[in-house]
Amino acid sequence: MDQRPFGKTGDLVPAVGQGTWRMEGDDRARAILALRAGLDAGMTHVDTAEMYGSGEVEETVREAIAGRRDEVFLVSKVWPQNATYQGVQAACERTLSRLGTDRLDCYLLHWPSHHPLEETIRGFEELVRRGKIRSWGLSNFDAPRLEKALAIAGEGRIACDQVLYNVGERSIEHAVLPWCEKHGVAVVAYSPLGSGVFPSPRSAGGQALRDIAKAHAATPYQVAIAFVLRRPSVLTVVKASEPAHAVENARAADRRLSAVEVRRLEAVFPLRVKRELPML
Ligand code: NAP
């Protein structure tokens, strides 16, 4: 599996990792099998959040990674309503307990909070100092908000920005991606398969994905994942509660699209600039 720097943390993390949003609605035993199959296939970056199933999904992750904690790059997210200095620390303790671990590899602010960012960052830094988290990052932050976070935290402190990115939603390429590349902040693409809304095979985009997949003896889903990974600053997390999906997604990391293929996909899925950073 292709390993990429996780910002300036010094950690190398697999280009394709595993998401867990809405897993609480899936068959639990099967979801655990899928996460384990994903780990076996090298997808050791596991992304969860206290919000997912109101903590239930973190407990599922605990079971999936039982006995394998040291293999995993474990990421969770604080709910913005909890993102005060004290609130971040209390939420982190609850998350650690649900995950059955003594530390997170990265802890994210799930989306911008109404609490002052200075407080959230001070809370994150205190968690780093106490060894509860190894690094921290942000999610759903646009470039002006990233700039503000940088002014508070200083260079080299923000590990990543986790943002919506897939063939059909390329807004981050306008400002977020260049900003992160300039400041050495990893971009973690979420919903790389459109969160269940994938281009129809009958659409021009779906046809392009199919043609390229055929040329690589791959699937359109693998091509969609390879597309978001075409820049080395980007990593991704894909959710799969179906074990066969997990294995298929891991293999996407080995697919390299040619310049011609990338140009075809960029033409059929054009970059649209939106006033606000889209998020799910
Ligand atoms: P996604 O990964 O784009 O898509 C997940 C859907 O695709 C599921 O229905 C899954 O089905 C299906 N799927 C997975 N692999 C497949 C394959 N190889 N072939 C066909 N279908 C496949 O959507 P997502 O869950 O929204 O995003 C991924 C992760 O990003 C989340 O789980 C979460 O960890 C993170 N995320 C973060 C935020 C944020 O605000 N920070 C927001 C959204 C998501 P099965 O489950 O049946 O396998």
Separation of alpha carbons 55 and 75, rounded Å: 14
What per-residue confidence (pLDDT) applies to 57?
98
From the CA of 222, give the closest atom in ligand 1: 18
Separation of alpha carbons 77 and 51, rounded Å: 8
- Pocket-forming residues, ligand 1, beta carbon under 6 Å: 19-21, 47, 110-111, 139-140, 162, 190-196, 221, 237-242, 245, 248-249, 279-280
Helix or strand or coil: residue 186?
Answer: strand
From the CA of 49, give the closest atom in ligand 1: 34
- Going 191 to 194 to 195 to 201, the CA torsion angle's sign is negative
Average pLDDT over residues 62-70: 98
Separation of alpha carbons 248 and 210, rounded Å: 15
What per-residue confidence (pLDDT) applies to 275?
83
From the CA of 194, give the closest atom in ligand 1: 3
Q: How many CB atoms lie within 10 A of CB 132?
A: 19
The first and second tokens of residue 154, run together, are 């200083």
Task: Round the average pLDDT of the chain to a whole number and report it.
Answer: 97
CA of 20 to the centre of ligand 1 (A): 7
**What are the pLDDT digits (tens) for 83-120?**
999 999 999 999 999 999 999 999 999 999 999 999 99
**What are the pLDDT digits (tens) for 126-178?**
999 999 999 999 999 999 999 999 999 999 999 999 999 999 999 999 999 99
Question: Which backbone phi and psi does 159 adopt, to 5 degrees?
Answer: -75, -40
Separation of alpha carbons 18 and 65, rounded Å: 12
Average pLDDT over residues 193-203: 96
What pTM does this model have?
0.98
From the CA of 244, give the closest atom in ligand 1: 18
HEC assignment per residue over 114-129: CCCHHHHHHHHHHHHH
Task: Give 97's contacts (C-beta < 8 A, 6+ positions apart).
Answer: none
**What are the pLDDT digits (tens) for 219-272?**
999 999 999 999 999 999 999 999 999 999 999 998 999 999 999 999 999 998
CA of 250 to the centre of ligand 1 (A): 13
Task: Tell me which of 136, 191, 209, 277 to substitute to probe ligand 1's pocket, judged by most ligand atoms within 8 Å of the beta carbon.
Answer: 191
Q: Is the pLDDT of residue 273 over 90?
A: no
CA of 59 to the centre of ligand 1 (A): 18
**What are the pLDDT digits (tens) for 7-40?**
999 999 999 999 999 999 999 999 999 999 999 9
What per-residue confidence (pLDDT) applies to 274?
85
**Atom 25, ligand 1: which residue's CA is nearest?**
239
